[in-house]
Structure 1
């Protein structure tokens, strides 16, 4: 992304609905990047402008029908009557006439616009003025509702585009200055007041802070951060004034990457969308020629051929055959699926991946960072002949002299160190542990190898543990141990259970020891688990599954997962903690790192596909029935309007339904 992002964002996001928006004149953005669709001060005016032409036409049509049938007037005849209906036609017909002219100018004669124009002008030509106005009126109303549906589908995605502030308050010695976010350098310190959004990624310098992370994760629950923890652009500070040191350039922030993904989300079309596009291009000219045949061919076979009657049948046939229900509702369905996923903190990089996720049979998961938190924590403390508090305090005091992650885990477990403990004679024994004195008492802390080295008797059952065990000896007497392990994520078990409920097989791959992998797999009830794997071994496992004609999704977060993510049918990255390389390679990004979102992504894919196929089936069945009736002279323009606009409206409402669904 570049510094033009703010100016270009509305143009780019409008491309997302180009496939389903035909002549949405009412959605517009000015040159400074303000989107009027989301300017609440102009919202009512926008809706008024959108529906005003239809209201005018509708009122004039009703009056015309009343004067024709219920309150006949001698003056409402001849050119006055024709002029009345022409005036009723112009507000809704003129925009479509313009679109038809533009389409023909671009070499596309056969479009839904031209079908509507031919049908309505043909109705005028044979004196069916109310039907001509009605067809165009209801078509225009359908287009307006389509515009509203597209805006609703876009709203969840467009909100992301407004999450990054243009400026930030930067510390300048003792003072603060306002600075453009794009000009802030790595290492500068931002001051963030309560209620303000963070403009760039960084690390927290203040002791603690609470942030609203909904823009990034889809979760409304506040997230508490401690000193030196990472904070991301788009997070909103909720309590006190805090300071953040910038660690990532403006264009490289997590939010920038999210925005890029969202803007390009519908560039990759689902096979169903591509088929419907091709189908509409072939289908439209075919129905035009069939309509000509309905009008002219009976001339040679029907004894009492009346041109106007058969032209009317042909026009009814044209109106019915308009493919707008399919052309509108199918892309809108997929677009709604992408919007619903964004609302749930899941980013699909293309509507084709909604279809792939709907068909996934096996989910392959990395262990560390995906199912586990990727952080060493103390899971269990066992004491022998000493109080737990004394064991923890003495061990933590000695480990405070080490930088090893295991030692850090024990220090964090102790929370606060006992200041009265005097630490002396500390010796680090490489690959084994530490030895030292605390208040002149000898302490040995390390693995079982260290205990054997000093001939200290310990519980031999510890040799069988797959996890990291830190044994403690005081004055060469075994005094207990700490079990250190990577903590399993809170919702990991729920995630696996949810996948099993929809008959999706689960496989775990890890570079960790097989014994550790087996223990995690057993706790989570994962179907298959493989440890001691290099990145190329993970790729081989995925290739083996794919060779069995299975649809495979791979979920990972590390740099070494990027090749496997690229290989899978659907590559899913954990976007909060995941590496940039993995996020770039992935097809789907889970923003809050929760494994349970995998099920949500599959569910959204399945529901989107179900709605799309409901619309396809409904459109084809209704149109087929009314087409046959129209060709046989049994359907009028009013039935044609229902078959076209009515089906389109029902399909649009069905597609919008996905925005309200609960996918958890």
Structure 2
């Protein structure tokens, strides 16, 4: 996984070198494909991170003991200074080095420089214990911050464990174990009970049950039949089954999901971007104020003591360090993305967490979003002047050109496609249906708007029939229609109830006939519903909502509704086990197709935003109070340490709470 360092917009690193160290260490334990392996040195690595601080702490405790309790005659002068310098080096040298590196990159006013000036200044005025202590606590705080970032990313990184390193393939009916990345399209994988599938493929066995939690966050078993698609990361639950590889290892659905999640932290929320800009302005201002605190009083204070005012300035510098803000805010968003991933919701960036938190109107498609999208032909009403079976065969051949759920329903109803029928000039008319020529005669299959478009007269009122209607015309004559029904998803009602409880409006837009759309909307309690819409009609409806200054989330398949997804403030795709294009189009992907996850996504966004602003309020309040006290000489270095490291740790503990929350 790529590492998201904390940079400003000019590409200069602001903070968190220890986070980078952790991430780089983890890379050394990954193979070329990004797989994570058992790391027997994990405890040792953590100990190594704390080792400089432990050495510094032991030396500092001895020095304080020698200063205040044992007071030997030899612990004076250069020996005493040297001892404190030795205590300072393990924790101070890396920070001073980072300060020089930042300066070379043009980032002068980094937190590393602030801490270096403050602690070296403390040595300059003979405040040796405080100089070591400030840097020691700062180093410990940085380690805890880095570990917290690592923990916050854990929910995301665990996705990397879902692809096995090896798979068993059959060659001439002989089982052979190879690296998963070496498997080729067409290979036959033998999957034992309890094993994870390494690549996407087609099930060759009659049936098999899988745990799909790695992809959907749903532990309920999913039973697949022969010929159905099974995906990398699924766990075979019962008997041995065989799967034919259909997609290369690097192109699997799980690989694309991992890529999506890896990219998520690169898209920053406005709050993060603001804090970065703020830190670049805030830090140099505080440095100049610290200089002023030290120098300006000599013009006005009668008994001016340079060391006293320098001490106040150094306290001011320690307090000013923006670490609590720069670390805890991205950490809050990491936690939000991780919590969402754990529940089968993929955010493509922390900016979308903020947008979801402020959504006022959820606009949704009907088919595949609030309904199952599994259509069945209910009845066929054809004019007696036509041969019903012959027309159905023609319709079946034409619909075989489409992947729409309606086409699938017709194919299941009619059966195999008649290969002797030849179509010419096949054309899909967006929002209407299909057109082709058979034996020189025009064949139209679609909605009644298609009939109107080609001036085909009919003697029924489509609005009087609740079901979805598929009209058929042949040789410029109206043949009749098929009725097709879809079922509402079992958690659709829960979804609408939860959205209402959150104060979110609901709107349904569909290309399906108005009577069907209104029927579903009334049954679920959706506020507004519109049917018989072309893609451009949906765009216009969403524009009308946005014109009312409402934040809009559009929920659909992310492909057919691409214009609306692009127009809305946040596009949500019912990705499930669907097309890769769906995952790539939307801003948020709900992996298990459950509409109830819409409300969960909004809740996660709200909780994340709340925690982020709690941290901002905490950091600003404490720092402001201690800055004032420090400037007035009422705060010591110990209060300064609390204002910096203590507040940062409190903010981190608050940020990681989101990973434990129930949504």
TM-score interval, smaller chain:
0.7 to 0.9
CA distance in 2, matches of 1:230, 1:466: 33
Q: Which residue of 2 aligns with 1:467?
A: 467
CA distance in 2, matches of 1:461, 1:349: 45
CA distance in 2, matches of 1:463, 1:561: 24
Q: Which residue of 2 aligns with 1:637?
A: 637
Among residues 28, 33, 36, which one is paired with 2:30 in the alignment? 33
Report deviation, 1:19: 7.1
CA distance in 1, matches of 2:551, 2:260: 23
1:362 paired with 2:361, answer yes
- Write out aligned runs for 1:127-146 (5 A): 127-146=126-145
CA distance in 2, matches of 1:84, 1:320: 26
Report deviation, 1:203: 2.3
Q: Which residue of 1 aligns with 2:600?
A: 600
Please identify, of 265-274 and 224-233, the stretch whose mean Cα deviation from structure 2 is larger.
224-233
Report deviation, 1:39: 3.4
Q: Which residue of 2 aligns with 1:394?
A: none
- Checking the alignment, whether the CA contact within 8 Å between 1:358 and 1:605 is kept in structure 2 is yes
CA distance in 2, matches of 1:411, 1:230: 23
- Write out aligned runs for 1:203-214 (5 A): 203-214=202-213
Report deviation, 1:199: 2.2
1:325 paired with 2:320, answer no
CA distance in 2, matches of 1:279, 1:42: 39
> Residue 70 of structure 2: SS of its match in structure 1?
coil
- Checking the alignment, whether the CA contact within 8 Å between 2:203 and 2:225 is kept in structure 1 is yes
Report deviation, 1:190: 2.2
- Checking the alignment, whether the CA contact within 8 Å between 1:561 and 1:582 is kept in structure 2 is no
Q: Which residue of 1 aligns with 2:16?
A: 21
Q: Which residue of 2 aligns with 1:245?
A: 244
Please identify, of 632-641 and 523-532, the stretch whose mean Cα deviation from structure 2 is larger.
523-532
CA distance in 2, matches of 1:216, 1:165: 14
Please identify, of 594-603 and 78-87, the stretch whose mean Cα deviation from structure 2 is larger.
78-87
CA distance in 1, matches of 2:221, 2:15: 36
Structure 1 residue ranges without an equivalent (≥5): 1-8, 381-398, 413-459, 471-481
- Checking the alignment, whether the CA contact within 8 Å between 1:20 and 1:331 is kept in structure 2 is no
CA distance in 2, matches of 1:183, 1:98: 44
CA distance in 2, matches of 1:379, 1:346: 35
Q: Which residue of 2 aligns with 1:525?
A: 525
Structure 2 residue ranges without an equivalent (≥5): 8-12, 380-391, 397-406, 416-459, 471-481
1:546 paired with 2:541, answer no
Q: Which residue of 2 aligns with 1:275?
A: 274
> Residue 243 of structure 1: SS of its match in structure 2?
strand
Q: Which residue of 1 aligns with 2:107?
A: 108
Give the TM-score taking structure 1 as reference length.
0.81
Q: Against the structure 1 CA distance between its residues 114 and 19, is the aligned structure 2 distance closer, same or farther, given a 3 Å change threshold?
A: closer
CA distance in 2, matches of 1:255, 1:491: 25
Report deviation, 1:26: 4.1
Q: Against the structure 1 CA distance between its residues 179 and 253, is the aligned structure 2 distance closer, same or farther, given a 3 Å change threshold?
A: same
RMSD: 2.9
Q: Against the structure 1 CA distance between its residues 497 and 156, is the aligned structure 2 distance closer, same or farther, given a 3 Å change threshold?
A: same
> Residue 553 of structure 1: SS of its match in structure 2?
strand
Report deviation, 1:464: 5.0
- Write out aligned runs for 1:349-498 (5 A): 349-376=348-375, 464-467=464-467, 485-498=485-498
1:261 paired with 2:257, answer no
CA distance in 2, matches of 1:610, 1:37: 33
- Checking the alignment, whether the CA contact within 8 Å between 1:558 and 1:578 is kept in structure 2 is no
> Residue 264 of structure 1: SS of its match in structure 2?
helix
- Write out aligned runs for 1:124-163 (5 A): 124-163=123-162
> Residue 170 of structure 2: SS of its match in structure 1?
strand
Q: Against the structure 1 CA distance between its residues 463 and 586, is the aligned structure 2 distance closer, same or farther, given a 3 Å change threshold?
A: closer
Deviations 1:321-368 (A, max 9, x none): 111111111111111111111111111111111111111101111111
Q: Which residue of 2 aligns with 1:344?
A: 343
